């Protein structure tokens, strides 16, 4: 089982001890993990220090390092250089992908995201709550030119969390939980994309001017409702707290233990994300007409 390593708070020193990742605080070891077992490393805090050797070891093992701000929103990410022999060829494929193909890819992504949002709502409410989102999915045009995603998101979050307003800047417990869950998902998606030899800066929709991880943010869109679902399912536990506790973080990290389904075949979470990234590569290469998405709510039909 790959581990999501979360280090939150001040005074930690991240280093290598006995060839494993170690987190020390006041000279006491708080965490010890084998690098081969680590999926990603998430850091929160103003005074976390680390050795260069520990960072290099993370890079050697393709471990994304995510730096979060006080609202648990990713402020930056460290990824390894690409070491896949066909990287140049794959980079050329991404660069040469034309605008119509990108617009069609974005249309597919938004349709899948809306369907998953409707499926998430159907876990908790009757059809009156999610029917309009299903209708939005049918109305998505090339490049989502009519902004069905934005309209759907406002309706979706308001329905899921009772007139809730989604914001990266708000520090209430639900927004903080969403930010943290998306940070975990983003790091997993980053690992899948890099291991597939894709350049995360060459995206479909998100602007690369201020974001070097456009493709990560593009491809993770349909998977986001999995985070939303875990928060809603444990809603009473979340709203009891003012800040994210270790147990609440664990609740969100547990989503990475869920299998992903492709045409009735089951894959581990990370293997499923990598298959998804490779499907996007096949689409960009004109080998297939449609991206194959993982089913995250495979027990639901909407």
Same domain assignment for residues 149 and 54? no
> Does the residue 44 lie in any domain?
yes
pTM: 0.84
pLDDT of residue 252: 94
Same domain assignment for residues 23 and 115? no
pLDDT of residue 172: 87
Same domain assignment for residues 109 and 48? no
> Does the residue 69 lie in any domain?
no
Same domain assignment for residues 101 and 153? yes
Same domain assignment for residues 165 and 275? yes
Sign of CA dihedral 258, 259, 262, 263: negative
Same domain assignment for residues 15 and 93? no
Residue 131 CA to residue 91 CA, distance in Å, equals 40
64-74 pLDDT, tens digit per residue, is: 898 888 777 77
> Does the residue 295 lie in any domain?
no
Same domain assignment for residues 218 and 119? yes
pLDDT of residue 302: 53
Domain count of the fold of the chain: 2
Residue 288 CA to residue 276 CA, distance in Å, equals 13
Distances from the Cα of 98 to the Cα of 89, 135, 194, 204, 283, angstroms: 16, 29, 22, 10, 12
- Residue range of the domain that includes 50: 3-63
- Name the pLDDT band for 210 (thresholds 50, 70, 90): low
151 has pLDDT over 90? yes
pLDDT of residue 13: 93
| Better pLDDT: 85 or 288 | 288
216-231 pLDDT, tens digit per residue, is: 999 999 999 999 999 9
Average pLDDT along the chain: 89
Residue 12 CA to residue 27 CA, distance in Å, equals 9
> Does the residue 76 lie in any domain?
no
> Does the residue 140 lie in any domain?
yes
> Does the residue 272 lie in any domain?
yes
Same domain assignment for residues 216 and 105? yes
Instruction: For residue 88, report the phi and psi dihedrals to the nearest 5 degrees.
Output: -60, -40
* CATH number of the domain within which 15 lies: 3.100.10.20
> Does the residue 68 lie in any domain?
no
Residue 260 CA to residue 276 CA, distance in Å, equals 10
Same domain assignment for residues 143 and 253? yes
Residue 217 CA to residue 204 CA, distance in Å, equals 9
52-96 pLDDT, tens digit per residue, is: 999 999 988 888 898 888 777 777 888 876 666 677 888 899 999
11-53 pLDDT, tens digit per residue, is: 899 999 999 999 999 888 888 999 999 988 989 877 899 999 9
* Residues 105-122, mean pLDDT to the nearest whole number: 96
* Residues 258-280, mean pLDDT to the nearest whole number: 93
| Better pLDDT: 206 or 238 | 238
Residue 231 CA to residue 126 CA, distance in Å, equals 19
The 74-78 sheet, strands edge to edge: 3-8, 38-44, 65-68, 74-78
154-207 pLDDT, tens digit per residue, is: 999 999 998 777 776 667 899 999 999 999 999 999 989 988 888 888 999 876
Strand pairing report for 28-33 and 20-25: antiparallel
Same domain assignment for residues 54 and 99? no
Same domain assignment for residues 25 and 131? no
Half-sphere exposure of 12 (CA within 13 A, CB side): 21
* CATH number of the domain within which 214 lies: 1.20.120.920
| Better pLDDT: 122 or 81 | 122
Same domain assignment for residues 34 and 164? no
> Does the residue 112 lie in any domain?
yes
């Amino acid at each position: 089982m790959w581990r999501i390593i979360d280090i939150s708070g001040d005074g930690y020193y991240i280093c290598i001890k006995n060839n494993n990742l170690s987190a020390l605080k006041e000279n006491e070891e708080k965490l010890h993990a084998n690098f081969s077992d680590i999926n990603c490393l998430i850091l929160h805090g103003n005074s976390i220090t680390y050795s260069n050797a520990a960072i290099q070891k993370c890079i050697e093992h393709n471990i994304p390092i995510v730096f979060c701000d006080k609202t648990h929103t990713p402020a930056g990410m460290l990824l390894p250089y690409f070491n896949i022999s066909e990287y140049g060829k794959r980079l050329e494929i991404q660069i040469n992908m034309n605008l119509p193909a990108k617009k069609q890819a974005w249309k597919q992504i938004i349709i899948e995201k809306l369907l998953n949002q409707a499926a998430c709502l159907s876990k908790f409410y009757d059809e009156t709550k999610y029917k309009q989102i299903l209708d939005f999915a049918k109305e998505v045009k090339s490049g989502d030119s009519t902004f069905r995603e934005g309209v759907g998101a406002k309706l979706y979050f308001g329905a899921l969390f009772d007139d809730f307003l989604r914001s990266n800047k708000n520090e209430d417990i639900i927004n903080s939980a969403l930010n943290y869950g998306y940070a975990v998902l983003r790091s997993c998606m980053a690992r899948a994309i890099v291991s597939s030899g894709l350049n995360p800066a060459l995206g479909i929709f998100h602007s690369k001017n201020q974001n070097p991880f456009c493709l990560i943010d593009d491809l993770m869109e349909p998977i986001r409702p999995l985070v939303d679902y875990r928060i809603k399912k444990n809603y009473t536990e979340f709203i009891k707290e003012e800040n994210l506790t270790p147990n609440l973080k664990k609740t969100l990290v547990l989503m990475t233990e869920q299998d992903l389904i492709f045409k009735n075949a089951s894959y581990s979470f990370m293997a499923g994300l990598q298959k998804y990234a490779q499907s996007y590569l096949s689409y960009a290469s004109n080998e297939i007409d449609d991206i194959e998405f993982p089913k995250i709510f495979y027990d639901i039909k909407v």
